[in-house]
């Protein structure tokens, strides 16, 4: 079914599902924004007291492992498979059976992950204590060993959050990262006062790793009231004959494979940043490969700079992209369970239009403010101006793909709602090969920026493939109207960047905002540039009659009254 090339009017937002979905997405955006602010405070504390060099790279290596588990099991395969089946069991067998299904899945998750973690510790602990391993590598192994149990805690929290989201309880899940951020801030700052300045920096990392474990326990406890209010009491249920349990197992295996492949890209980026820098070779800039002496393309602390770039570009992706995908998924699953294809298409159109309206200016805006934002958060203490420049370089290449990262989340949820994990898996496998090839090509002349650029390129390609296949499955998705929306968003964004960029350039020429006052200048310029950019984009969207302005967080105050909005 082809899109009508003459139909350029946007799809209506007036479907019964649309207002609720948009309001829930905005609620999650607000909660996520608060959480991300705490996350930025955490980053400031950690970078100020610990820097972003080799030690931080070792910590980040360890912290990434439980987060890979979270993305694969917690927020990835298990959640995506569980929710559609859970909704189906609710409708066919009632709330009591659905509650037992949730308890059985949680029990299985604890047993499986607990076994994997125990097995991992058997290998990690001896390796971390092996005196023949280089000190930096030994520190990275120790960080992985300490924080690996956090994988169990965070996956339970993610699955519990998905269950609560099904019952329209989003607050606990969106707010749970605040707990982690507060404890990590404390663990970064307290040792700086308790330990001598002459103590090795890596000793402070053990405090930070311990805080991560404690945060996981507190996060699980904080989710319990919402779980109980949703009718799910924590108890051991080992029955595998509960309706839906077998379907979850069958669908989850290809989904785990798909999610693992997707996360393999992130893991490969980290490994390349570690081993193609002096960090992985005892501080030496060369290493031997098949009797050849190879000079590493990146400087020490490459993974630390890459972690900063990832944190920055994921800020808008989390506030807008994750929020939209989280809010739409239960509704997509319900529509798919009822075989209501028109409702699915309407939800997808609404979500994609909302995402593009916000992500197009965000992509350009982040390219503009990246130096100011990173300087404001990270500069000072153990972080130098050279560290900032390297992080900005990688961040800008990540930011090119922000719109694709956000849109991809929505498209993947559509496939998972239809209980189709195989199509995303096939695409993901091809993206791993592309990402690995681009990484090993671009890193030699773009350093950390090459790793970031390859991630963005793969996200754009994957987004295009998902959209093409989804359009064949469900029919026309209003792409003609969406292209018209994108054109208007680009026009508004162009004016926004010209005015906000001119303001920033003018402020940078003032003596008290110059390089000698780097931090003060960034702290003053950043809010001014952000306010002007938001105002210009809102006014331009009003002038161009973009309907999504009415439901956009913050910007909707610029919208015309609905009766006067051209459609």
Residue 331 pLDDT exceeds 60: yes
Give the pLDDT confidence score for residue 99 in this predicted structure.
83
Helices (H) and strands (E) in the chain, counts: 18, 2
Give the pLDDT confidence score for residue 118 in this predicted structure.
94
Q: Which residue has the tokens 């439980």?
A: 66
567 pLDDT band (50/70/90 cuts)? very low
Residue 211 pLDDT exceeds 60: yes
Task: Answer with the residue of higher pLDDT: 457 or 64.
Answer: 457
Residue 508 pLDDT exceeds 90: no
Structure tokens at 402: 């922000």
18 pLDDT band (50/70/90 cuts)? very low
Report the chain's mean pLDDT, rounded to a whole number. Answer: 81
* Most confident region among 29-43, 190-204, 290-304, 349-363 by mean pLDDT: 349-363
**Integer Cα distance of 487 and 539 in angstroms:** 16
Give the pLDDT confidence score for residue 212 in this predicted structure.
93
Give the pLDDT confidence score for residue 537 in this predicted structure.
92
Give the pLDDT confidence score for residue 14 in this predicted structure.
36
Task: Answer with the residue of higher pLDDT: 204 or 364.
Answer: 364
26 pLDDT band (50/70/90 cuts)? low
Give the pLDDT confidence score for residue 133 in this predicted structure.
83
Residue 130 pLDDT exceeds 70: yes
Give the helix/strand (H/E) hosting 531: helix 518-543
pLDDT, average across residues 261-286: 76
Task: Answer with the residue of higher pLDDT: 381 or 546.
Answer: 546
Give the pLDDT confidence score for residue 11 in this predicted structure.
39
Q: Which residues of 195-218 are buried (b: 16+ CB within 10 A; e: fewer)?
A: eeeeeebbebbbbbbebbbbbbee
Return the axis-axis angle of helices 302-316 and 341-378, rounded to nearest 10°.
Answer: 130
Give the helix/strand (H/E) hosting 387: helix 385-399
Give the pLDDT confidence score for residue 220 in this predicted structure.
87
The 10 Å Cβ neighbour count of residue 223 is: 23
Give the helix/strand (H/E) hosting 512: none
* Most confident region among 198-202, 303-307, 546-550 by mean pLDDT: 303-307
Its pTM surpasses 0.85: no
- How many Å from the N-terminal Cα to the C-terminal Cα in the chain? 24
16 pLDDT band (50/70/90 cuts)? very low
Give the pLDDT confidence score for residue 327 in this predicted structure.
76
Is the distance from CB of 406 to CB of 359 less than 8 angstroms?
A: yes
Give the pLDDT confidence score for residue 511 in this predicted structure.
57
* CA nearest neighbour of 104 among 80, 125, 78, 126: 78
Q: Which residue has the tokens 């961040």?
A: 395
């Amino acid at each position: 079914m082809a899109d009508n090339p003459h139909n350029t009017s946007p799809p209506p937002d007036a479907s019964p599902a649309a207002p609720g979905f948009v309001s829930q997405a905005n609620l999650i955006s607000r909660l996520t924004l608060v959480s991300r602010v705490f996350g930025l405070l955490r980053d400031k504390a950690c970078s100020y007291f610990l820097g972003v060099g080799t030690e931080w790279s070792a910590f980040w290596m360890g912290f990434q492992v439980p987060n890979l588990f979270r993305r694969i099991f917690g927020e990835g395969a298990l959640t995506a498979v569980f929710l559609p089946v859970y909704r189906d069991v609710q409708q066919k067998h009632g709330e009591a059976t659905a509650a037992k299904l949730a308890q059985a899945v949680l029990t299985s998750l604890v047993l499986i992950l607990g076994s994997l973690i125990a097995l991992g510790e058997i290998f990690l602990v001896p390796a971390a204590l092996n005196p023949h391993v280089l000190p930096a590598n030994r520190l990275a192994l120790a960080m992985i060993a300490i924080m690996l149990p956090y994988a169990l805690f965070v996956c339970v929290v993610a699955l519990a959050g998905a269950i609560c989201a099904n019952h329209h309880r989003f607050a606990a899940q969106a707010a749970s990262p605040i707990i982690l951020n507060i404890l990590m801030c404390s663990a970064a700052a307290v040792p700086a006062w308790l330990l001598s300045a002459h103590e090795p920096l890596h000793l402070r990392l053990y405090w930070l790793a311990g805080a991560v474990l404690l945060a996981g326990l507190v996060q699980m406890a904080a989710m319990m009231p919402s779980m109980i209010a949703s009718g799910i009491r924590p108890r051991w249920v080992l029955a595998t004959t509960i309706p839906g349990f077998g379907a979850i197992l069958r669908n989850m295996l290809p989904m785990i494979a798909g999610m693992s492949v997707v996360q393999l890209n992130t893991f490969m980026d980290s490994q390349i940043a570690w081993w193609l820098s002096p960090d992985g070779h005892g501080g030496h800039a060369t290493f031997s490969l098949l009797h050849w002496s190879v000079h590493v393309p990146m400087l020490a602390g490459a993974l630390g700079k890459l972690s900063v770039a990832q944190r920055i570009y994921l800020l808008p992706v989390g506030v807008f992209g994750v929020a939209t995908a989280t809010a739409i998924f239960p509704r997509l699953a319900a529509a798919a369970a009822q075989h209501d294809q028109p409702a699915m298409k309407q939800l997808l159109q609404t979500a994609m239009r909302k995402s593009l309206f916000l992500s197009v200016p965000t992509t350009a805006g982040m390219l503009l403010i990246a130096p100011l934002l990173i300087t404001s958060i990270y500069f000072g203490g153990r972080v130098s101006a050279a560290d900032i420049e390297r992080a900005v370089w990688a961040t800008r290449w990540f930011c090119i793909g922000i719109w694709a990262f956000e849109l991809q989340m929505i498209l993947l949820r559509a496939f998972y709602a239809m209980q189709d994990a195989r199509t995303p898996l096939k695409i993901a496998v091809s993206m791993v090969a592309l990402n690995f090839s681009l990484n090993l090509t671009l890193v030699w002349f773009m350093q950390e920026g090459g790793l970031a650029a390859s991630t963005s390129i793969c996200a754009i390609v994957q987004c295009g493939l998902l959209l093409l296949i989804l359009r064949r499955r469900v029919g026309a998705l209003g792409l003609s109207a969406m292209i018209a929306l994108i054109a208007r968003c680009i026009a508004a964004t162009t004016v926004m960047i010209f005015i906000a960029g001119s303001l920033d350039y003018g402020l940078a020429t003032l003596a008290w905002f110059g390089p000698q006052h780097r931090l003060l200048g960034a702290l003053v310029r950043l809010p001014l540039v952000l306010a002007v950019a938001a105002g210009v984009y809102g006014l331009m969207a009003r002038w161009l009659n973009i309907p999504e302005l009415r439901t956009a967080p913050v910007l909707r105050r610029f919208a015309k009254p609905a009766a006067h909005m051209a459609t």
